[in-house]
Each structure stands twice: as structure tokens, then as C-alpha cells.
Structure 1
């Protein structure tokens, strides 16, 4: 009988790759998505469609009320999404306070209820500069906490923690994944903007892999 795992699945290309990687490694995957009031909640539709196609158990949990406590991010508040690369200081406006600690805590609780031993999420090195909750030191400390927070230890697994989005895409293309089934843009409009940090990093990854992004852009 295969081992149960929870995958935090936003509907973006990183978590889509992690989800498929976990499936190929033989895990029994339970995908978990969160509506935290993000302006790009279009990603949740992509997540639901992908899980349906892959026949993966999937929950979308509405925690949007949390924005009464953790405002101030351009992803959740009435603040323009900055344009430019992730390496620019302005991208700190996209940080949602304590987001990954909150999401991981709930995912770990779900894992314990399922008797799952791991929670996967798609942190990678390209996020380290801007997002403290994607850095190795955060992941390692969360692992320490999640080993003792319940009677059952749960591991926080980040298979791409030390590599870039370019490498994630390389791995996904080797798996034959269709990234037209993912949403990355921080603006939830009909087409991806191509200008926000998320879009620019995605487009850079495709360019470095000498591949064409199947997603439509403005």
C-alpha cells in the first residue's frame, strides 16, 4: 500500500511539478489548495482542473477571512502588483505575512488526520531573496517543529528547495508536463500580464529551457 502524502497545490507551475513528481514516486497524493483572498484566485480553478484530470483527491479550503489579520500585501490588499523581477526590492510588496507557516500548519493537521507522513510544497531558490518562508532555514525549523507538534511526526518535503524555477521546469518538461494547465500571474485577469515578478520568472524559465510557454499573455 502506497504512502499517503499531502501536497500544497496552488495551481502554479512549481506546485504542479511537485504534485506530478510525488505521483511518479508512487505516493498516494492528497492535494490541498487555499483561498486566502488572493487576487489571482484563478489559480484555484487551474488546481481543481489539474487534480480532476490526474484523478487526485483535492480540497480547496476558504481561509479568506484571515485577511482581517494579515493585510498589507499586494496579493491580498488594494495595492497594485509591482512589475519587475523578483530580485527587485519592490517585490517585497507581494509578501503575505506568515503565509507559508499558516498554510503548512493546516496542511500538517490534515496530514495527521489522514495518517500521512509528509507535506510537500514547492519552495525553490528563486524565492529565497524575497520570501523568508521559502528559505532553507525556515523549512528546516518547520521540520523540527512538525516532528514534535503532534503524536505523529510529519516531514516538510521541498524537493526543489535548493534549485531554481529554471531547474523545476527542466524536470517538468522531462516528465512531459503541460504547463498550459497552470496559472502563475499575480493578476487574475483573462490572460497573464507578463510583467509581474511571477510572470517574468516563469518566462525566464521557459527561455532558459529553450521552450515556449503555452499560456496566453497580454
Structure 2
């Protein structure tokens, strides 16, 4: 029987490259995405396209209303998405409180039910927006929690491993890895605005464009403005 891996798939650059890594390592892919009432659904459409590219048997989409909590420009329409400042020291307003904690918890449960041995998440701690739930410390603590929170570990002795293959890579290296693995980067979206063409100005766009520029490759998606 082919080994299985749950992959957190947002439809963005990092999660798609993470999916390509899991695929290259021979896993049956079990992508999981979230409609958390974010400000746009373009990323869910992108995730569906990426999942279709890999011919998965099932693409699970979980709905959870994180807009009820608010506090983020990605869930609260009253908060504007700022133009990018990749050198800012503070956590930006685009941070969604506890998002990766919640997403990983769902993914862990899905892995237990499907008997997957891995959960892949495309967090990155180098070229990123400063989100606290993208750090190695957070992943290490969640792994400890996972080791004590499921029937699979308590009764079956089956540890579910959280895999973070991109966590120590620069955005340049992520782009190069995606290119090497033939990841469908043309199907992805990273822009916080969610338009047909990416804005080229938000934090996520700037980090993505920086990665492609440093990799010497042209970003295959459309932009209103390219701030390269």
C-alpha cells in the first residue's frame, strides 16, 4: 500500500512547492484546504487547480469562520491590506490569529483517520512576513502536542510527523525547488488582494517577486504592477 501524506494546500507558492516535495517523495497526496472566510476565494480556486494537476482522489476543503474572530486584514473587510514592507520588525496586520495552529489540528485529525504518516506544511522562516506560527519553535511544539493527542499515538504507537521542507529555505530557493520539481507555479496565487492579476505591491507579492528575481526566473502569473 502506498504511504500517505496530508498536505496543507492554500494555492500559494509555498504550499504548492510543498505539495511537489511530498509528491517527489512518493506519497499519496491528501490535500486539505480551508475556507476560513478570508477576504477572497481566489486562493481556494488556485488550490483546486493544483490538486487537479496532481490527479488527487480527494481534495478536502474545511470551512471555519475565522472572520468571527477578526483582527486580521485577511478576514476583516474593515482592515485594509497594506502595501508591502518586507523589512518591518513587527507582526503585520495580515497575520491571522492562530491560523496555522487551527489548520494543523484539522490536518492532524485527517491524517489519523486516513492513516497518513506525514503532514506537510509549507511554512518558511527566512523570506516570510514575520508570522509567529511559521517559526521552527512553533512546529517543534506542535509536534510534541501531536505526539500526545491522538488515538494513533496513544493506542497504536503510530507517530504522525509534521514535515516542513521549506522552513529553512529562502524564497529564491523555494522557487528553484519548485522549478526543479515541475511544480505548477503558473496555477498559484500569492496576492492578498485576490484579483485576477496580482497587485505586485502587498507583502506577499513583494516576497514572491523577490524570490523569482533572485532565482533568475520569470514569475508565470499576471501582475498589475511588478515591483522587481
Describe the shift of the 1:74–1:127 C-alpha distance in structure 2 as closer, same or farther (beyond 3 A): farther
Structure with the higher helix share, 1 or 2: 1
Report the Cα distance in structure 1 between the residues aligned to 2:90 and 2:80, rounded to whole angstroms: 11
Aligned residues: 216
Query: 1:94-126 CA distances to partner (integer Å, 9 max, x unpaired)?
Result: 110011000100110111010111111000123
Match runs of 1:21-170 below 5 Å: 21-56=21-56, 57-63=58-64, 65-68=65-68, 70-78=69-77, 79-89=79-89, 92-126=92-126, 130-152=130-152, 153-170=159-176
Is 1:197–2:203 an aligned residue pair? yes
Report the Cα distance in structure 2 between the residues aligned to 1:35 and 1:129, rounded to whole angstroms: 21
The alpha carbon displacement at 1:89 in A equals 4.4
User: TM-score under structure 2 normalisation?
Assistant: 0.90
Contact 2:92-2:129 within 8 A present in 1 as well: no
SS where residue 126 of structure 1 aligns? coil
Runs of 4+ in 1 over 4 A off after TM superposition: none
Contact 1:30-1:58 within 8 A present in 2 as well: yes
Contact 2:32-2:59 within 8 A present in 1 as well: yes
Two-structure CA RMSD over aligned residues (Å):
1.5
Which one of 215, 221, 227 corresponds to residue 215 of structure 1? 221
Report the Cα distance in structure 2 between the residues aligned to 1:130 and 1:166, rounded to whole angstroms: 17
Report the Cα distance in structure 2 between the residues aligned to 1:128 and 1:172, rounded to whole angstroms: 17
SS where residue 195 of structure 1 aligns? coil
SS where residue 11 of structure 1 aligns? coil
The alpha carbon displacement at 1:85 in A equals 3.1
Report the Cα distance in structure 2 between the residues aligned to 1:164 and 1:40, rounded to whole angstroms: 27
Contact 2:91-2:129 within 8 A present in 1 as well: no
Contact 2:38-2:67 within 8 A present in 1 as well: no
SS where residue 7 of structure 1 aligns? strand
Contact 1:91-1:197 within 8 A present in 2 as well: no
Report the Cα distance in structure 1 between the residues aligned to 2:25 and 2:187, rounded to whole angstroms: 21
User: TM-score under structure 1 normalisation?
Assistant: 0.94
Partner of residue 5, structure 1: 5
Residue ranges of structure 1 left out of the alignment (5+ in a row): none
Partner of residue 184, structure 1: 190
The alpha carbon displacement at 1:17 in A equals 0.5
SS where residue 60 of structure 1 aligns? strand
Report the Cα distance in structure 1 between the residues aligned to 2:67 and 2:220, rounded to whole angstroms: 33
Residue ranges of structure 2 left out of the alignment (5+ in a row): 153-158
Report the Cα distance in structure 1 between the residues aligned to 2:87 and 2:134, rounded to whole angstroms: 14
